[in-house]
Structure 1
Amino acid sequence: MHLDTQKTLIRQSSLIEHLDLSRSGLDKLRKKDATFPKPIKDGPHRQASNFYVVAEVEAWIRAQIEKRDNG
Structure 2
Amino acid sequence: MTTFSAATSLHSGRDPQTTLIRITEVMAIVGLARPTIYKLMQQAESGFPLPVKLSNSTARGAPVAWVLSEVQAWTRSRIQARDRVAA
What band does the TM-score fall into relative to the shorter chain? 0.7 to 0.9
Counterpart secondary structure, 2:78:
helix
Equivalent in the alignment of 2:48: 36
Q: Which has the larger radius of gyration?
A: 2
Q: CA deviation at 1:29?
A: 2.5
Equivalent in the alignment of 2:33: 22
Structure 2 CA distance, aligned partners of 1:58 and 1:42?
20
Query: With CA pairs under 8 Å and 6+ residues apart, which has the higher RCO, 1 or 2?
Result: 1
Structure 1 CA distance, aligned partners of 2:32 and 2:46?
17
Q: CA deviation at 1:12?
A: 1.4
Equivalent in the alignment of 2:74: 60
Structure 1 CA distance, aligned partners of 2:32 and 2:69?
19
Aligned residues: 71
Stretches (4+) displaced over 3 A = none
Q: CA deviation at 1:66?
A: 0.7
Counterpart secondary structure, 1:52:
strand
The unaligned stretches of length 5 or more in structure 1 are none
TM-score, normalisation: structure 1? 0.76
TM-score, normalisation: structure 2? 0.65
